[in-house]
Amino acid sequence: MSDDMRIVVTKDGPYMVYGSPPLFLGAVRIDGLGRSLEWKKGERLYPDEIYALCRCGKSKNKPFCDGSHVNGFDGAETAPRDGYEGRANIEKGTGGMDLLQDPALCTGSGFCHAQHSISKTVQKEKTVHIAKQQCADCAGGSLTLRIDGKLVEEDLPKEILVTATPRKEGPIRVTGGIPIESEDGKAYEVRNRVALCRCGRSGNMPFCNGRHLKA
Ligand code: SF4
Ligand code: FES
Look at ligand 1, atom 4, and give the residue with the nearest C-alpha: 106
| Neighbour-count burial of 4, counting CB atoms closer than 10 A to its CB (0-12 exposed, 13-18 middle, 19+ buried) | exposed
Mean pLDDT by 10 residues, the chain (215 residues): 87 98 95 91 96 97 98 96 95 92 94 88 90 93 95 93 88 97 96 97 97 86
Q: Which of 7, 53, 54, 162 has most ligand 2 atoms within 8 Å of its beta carbon, as the pocket-test mutant?
A: 54
- Ligand 2 centroid, distance to 90 Cα (angstroms): 36
pLDDT at 168: 85
Whether the CB of 198 sits within 6 Å of ligand 2: no
- Ligand 1 centroid, distance to 79 Cα (angstroms): 18
- Ligand 1 centroid, distance to 103 Cα (angstroms): 9
pLDDT at 125: 86
Whether the CB of 111 sits within 6 Å of ligand 1: yes
pLDDT at 95: 85
Q: Which of 142, 175, 197, 211 has most ligand 1 atoms within 8 Å of its beta carbon, as the pocket-test mutant?
A: 142
Whether the CB of 139 sits within 6 Å of ligand 1: yes
Atom of ligand 1 nearest to the CA of 134: 7
pTM: 0.95
pLDDT at 26: 95
Whether the CB of 109 sits within 6 Å of ligand 1: yes
pLDDT at 1: 61
**Nearest bound ligand to the CA of residue 110:** 1
